[in-house]
Amino acid sequence: EPEVTQTPSHQVTQMGQEVILRCVPISNHLYFYWYRQILGQKVEFLVSFYNNEISEKSEIFDDQFSVERPDGSNFTLKIRSTKLEDSAMYFCASSSPDAEELFFGEGSRLTVL
Amino acid sequence: AQSVTQLGSHVSVSEGALVLLRCNYSSSVPPYLFWYVQYPNQGLQLLLKYTSAATLVKGINGFEAEFKKSETSFHLTKPSAHMSDAAEYFCAVSPSGSARQLTFGSGTQLTVLP
């Protein structure tokens, strides 16, 4: 069964460093998403991406964040200068155009020290 | 704005007992409602979804949920719990006909006791 894969599974970084989280969506999907879950809190929508541009984003997704589809398979989330409060589990998801179901990856845990 | 509230961050049931996980929603428009499950060290997996068709929705692994507009609820049930059901369960709502921008509840950790 096709699945969304994410790397790394866990990353530890120093505050102020740049981090790139990578995702390989399901191959025939056209919509891509990032969600995050701070420990003990709700899963929160960050951004959706379609046709090489952001289609929707939440207020969490500020100028420190960016997304990119650098090639035909990867979808990345970049955090330019990490803060302590960026520590969270980041989930990538993808869907077909009707978006009746989002398929999530296993998550990348980011720890900012 | 839409939101969901999951009552009970932790629920324990005995194997073979009824599972009931509660979710109440708040929405100014007809909502689309979802239940996701997260097994340890895995991603979120869709259990079932309500998209304004039948109010009783059947999902995978024997789970079902009933949409009750009068109670603004979408509780998840399973008649007989299995050890493999131990996981975290998330209720989510979407304002549109798709799952594109989900608002999740805080999750309920289900423990199944032998």
The candidate with the shortest Cα–Cα distance to B88, out of B73, B72, B105, B102, is B105
Residues of chain A above pLDDT 90, percent: 80
- Which residues lie below 8 Å from residue B70, measured CB to CB, with a gap of 6+? none
Asked if residue A75 lies in contact with residue A23, where contact means CB atoms within 8 angstroms, the answer is: yes
Task: Kindly state the average pLDDT of the residues B12-37.
Answer: 92
**A48 vs B45, B100, B105: nearest CB:** B100
**A99 vs B36, B100, B107: nearest CB:** B100
More confident residue, A62 or B29: A62
Q: Cβ A102–B41 below 8 Å, yes or no?
A: no
For B32, nearest residue in chain A (alpha carbons): A100
Q: Cβ B107–A42 below 8 Å, yes or no?
A: yes
More confident residue, B100 or B78: B78
Give the distance between the most distant pair of CA atoms in chain A.
Answer: 40
A91 chain-B contacts, CB cut-off 8 A: 43-44
Q: How far apart are CA B100 and CA A85, in angstroms?
A: 25
Q: Looking at CA atoms only, how far is residue B15 from chain A in angstroms?
A: 27
Residue A8, preceding peptide bond in cis (omega within 30° of 0):
yes
Q: How far apart are CA A26 and CA A43, in angstroms?
A: 21
**B102 vs A102, A103, A105: nearest CB:** A102
Interface membership of B14 toward A (CB under 8 Å): no
The candidate with the shortest Cα–Cα distance to B44, out of A111, A69, A88, A37, is A37
Q: Which of residues 16-75 of A touch B (CB under 8 A)?
A: 31, 33, 35, 41-45, 48, 55-56
Q: What would the two tokens of residue A95 be?
A: 């869907």
pLDDT, position A71: 86
Q: Cβ B102–A95 below 8 Å, yes or no?
A: no
Task: Kindly state the average pLDDT of the residues B62-79.
Answer: 95
Q: Cβ A45–B107 below 8 Å, yes or no?
A: no
CB atoms within 10 A of CB A68: 13
- Give residue-wise pLDDT tens across range A11-54: 999 999 999 999 999 998 999 999 999 988 889 999 999 989 99
Residues of chain A above pLDDT 70, percent: 99
Judge whether residue B71 has pLDDT over 90: yes
Judge whether residue B95 has pLDDT over 90: no
Look at strands B64-68 and B19-26 and give their pairing.
Answer: unpaired
pLDDT, position B97: 63
pLDDT, position B113: 96
Residue B52's pLDDT band (cuts 50, 70, 90): confident
B70 by DSSP, 3-state: which? helix
Judge whether residue A75 has pLDDT over 70: yes
